[in-house]
A and B are shown apart, each in its own frame.
Chain A
Amino acid sequence: MEILESRTGDMAVVHVVGRVNSSNASELDERLKKLVGAGCRGIVIDLGRLDYMTSAGFRCLLRAERQVQDLAGKLVLCGLQGLTLELFEVGGFLEMFITATTREEAVRQATVT
C-alpha cells in the first residue's frame, strides 16, 4: 500500500494505491486520523488505483467518516472500480459513504462552505 496525500487549506486529497488489509490498515487509519486532527474538514479518498480493501480497510474509512462528520466536514470517495467496487456493493458500503465518479467532482462535493 502507498498513501499519497495533498492538502490545500482544510481540504485533503488522499490517494490510496495497492492493497489495504489487516497488516497495513492501521497505517491508513493513522494517516486519516492525523488529517482530521489537523483540522481537515474536507477529505477526498481516491481509490482509483486500489487493488482491493479488506474489511479492516472499510473499518478505517467508516471511522474517518465519523470523525470528519464530528467536525461538520465531509468525506467523499472517488475512483471506485473493479474488486474494490464489488466489495463496496457486497458489504452495503455504498449507502454509507458519499461517492463521486471523478476526483474533481469529489473535491467539489467535499468542499464545506
Chain B
Amino acid sequence: MDISVIEHASTLTVVNARPEFARAATWLGDFAADVGLPNDLSSRLLVALDEVLSNVVHHGLAGATEGEREIRLCVRLGPEMVELDVVDDGPAFDPTTVACATLAADRFVGGAGLLFVRALMDEVRFTRQGDRNCLTLCKRLAATA
C-alpha cells in the first residue's frame, strides 16, 4: 500500500448563524495544525472559508430563519492538494461563473470576497448536487503563492 495516497479528512456541519463562523474557523484551523499545513496555507484557507460562508449565509440563505439551515463542510488532505467542500441547500448559485469585472465594481457590497477566494485558491469548482450547491476550494501544497 502506498502511504502517500492516504488522505486525512474532517467534516463539520454548521447552521446559518453568525457564531458558527468562529466554530468553522476553529475546526479548519485545528485540522490544518493537526496535519501540519504551513501557516500561510492555513491562513489562505481560513480567508476563503470565511468569504464563502459569508456569501452562503448572507446571500444564498438570505431570508432563511437563522439557525435552521445546515451547511456541510469537508476538508481533505491529499498528496498534492488540500480541498475544502462547502455544501448548502440554498437556491442554485455558481460563484465561479460570476464575471470578475462585476465583482470589482461590486466590491463595496461584498464582491471582494469572491475575488479573494479566486485569487487565494488554485482551483474553485462548483457542482449542483440535487438541491444542493457544492463549492470545492482547492489549494496545492507545494507553492502557496
A-side residues, CB < 8 A to B, are 19, 21-23, 51-52, 54-56, 58-59, 62, 82-83, 86-87, 90-93
Residue in A19, A55, A92 whose beta carbon sits within 8 Å of that of B46 in the complex: A19
Closest beta carbon of chain A to B65's beta carbon, Å: 19
- A27 vs B110: C-alpha distance when bound (angstroms): 19
Closest beta carbon of chain A to B139's beta carbon, Å: 13
| Docked-complex contact A87 and B104, CB < 8 angstroms | no
User: Interface residues of B, CB < 8 Å — how many?
Assistant: 25
- A35 vs B129: C-alpha distance when bound (angstroms): 48
- A94 vs B74: C-alpha distance when bound (angstroms): 34
Interface secondary structure of B, over-half rule? helix
- A92 vs B104: C-alpha distance when bound (angstroms): 8
Closest beta carbon of chain A to B111's beta carbon, Å: 8
Which residues 37-86 of B sit at the A interface, judged by CB distance below 8 A?
A: 39-40, 43-44, 46-47, 50-51, 53-54
B-side residues, CB < 8 A to A, are 18-19, 21-22, 25, 39-40, 43-44, 46-47, 50-51, 53-54, 104, 107-108, 110, 112-113, 115-116, 119-120
Contacts of A90 in B (CB 8 A): 115-116, 119-120
A-B contact pairs, 23 of them (CB 8 A): A19-B46, A21-B21, A21-B47, A22-B53, A23-B21, A51-B39, A51-B43, A54-B113, A55-B54, A55-B112, A55-B116, A56-B50, A56-B54, A58-B112, A62-B108, A83-B44, A83-B47, A86-B119, A90-B116, A90-B120, A91-B107, A92-B104, A93-B112
